[in-house]
């Protein structure tokens, strides 16, 4: 642990410079933890409010994609308050490159393009940053829930 002049730990060294192969410490800094808290809070509260606006109390199927979605354990994301439990009560799928698959489907299949256009025309935009409930709940959700022992 590397502390500042007030004794507050600002950096936790995972691998010292002499062992890292880079000549630099591999570490987690206090600012990294804070950025993670902000991101997990936005995701959690955003999902909850989108479910509320849509009238959903649970999600039948959650699809996680991209490098982020396919490379992490979603159960741990629930444990740390990143995903609401209601969002993962149904089937949870982690699939690679769905954006690319969808783009190919739209290019090659006129019916898929038409379906995408229909979905786009009925999609409602919700500006969460302007939602008073989001702004109230966001700071509350930055806290990590207690771990079960």
Question: d(Cα 69, Cα 55) in Å, to the nearest integer?
Answer: 25
Q: What is the pLDDT of residue 51?
A: 94
- The stretch 103-126 carries a mean pLDDT of 93
pLDDT digit string, tens, across residues 3-20: 767 767 788 899 999 999
Question: d(Cα 87, Cα 71) in Å, to the nearest integer?
Answer: 18
Longest dimension (CA), the chain: 64
| Res 137 pLDDT > 80 | yes
- Flag whether 5 is in a domain: no
pLDDT-based confidence at 75, cuts 50/70/90? very high
pLDDT-based confidence at 69, cuts 50/70/90? confident
Pairing of strands 91-95, 61-65: parallel
Q: Which of 6-15, 48-57, 58-67 has the lowest mean pLDDT?
A: 6-15
- Flag whether 124 is in a domain: yes
What 3-state DSSP class applies to 24? coil
Domain encompassing residue 102: 36-140
- Flag whether 102 is in a domain: yes
Q: Which of 5-19, 104-118, 133-147 has the lowest mean pLDDT?
A: 5-19
Q: How many domains does the chain have?
A: 1
- Flag whether 50 is in a domain: yes
Alpha helices in the chain (DSSP H): 17-20, 30-54, 66-70, 74-79, 98-108, 110-122, 132-140
């Amino acid at each position: 642990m590397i502390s500042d002049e007030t004794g507050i730990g600002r950096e936790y060294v995972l691998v010292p410079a002499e062992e890292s192969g880079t000549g630099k410490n591999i570490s987690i800094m206090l600012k990294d933890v804070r950025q993670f808290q902000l991101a997990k809070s936005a995701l959690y509260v955003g999902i909850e409010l989108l479910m509320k606006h849509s009238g959903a109390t649970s999600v039948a199927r959650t699809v996680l994609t991209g490098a982020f979605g396919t490379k992490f354990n979603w159960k741990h994301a629930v444990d740390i308050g990143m995903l609401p439990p209601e969002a993962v009560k149904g089937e949870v799928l982690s699939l690679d490159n769905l954006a690319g698959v969808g783009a190919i489907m739209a290019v090659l299949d006129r019916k898929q393009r038409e379906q995408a256009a229909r979905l786009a025309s009925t999609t409602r935009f919700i500006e969460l940053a302007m939602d008073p409930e989001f702004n109230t709940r966001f700071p509350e959700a930055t806290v990590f829930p207690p771990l079960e022992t």
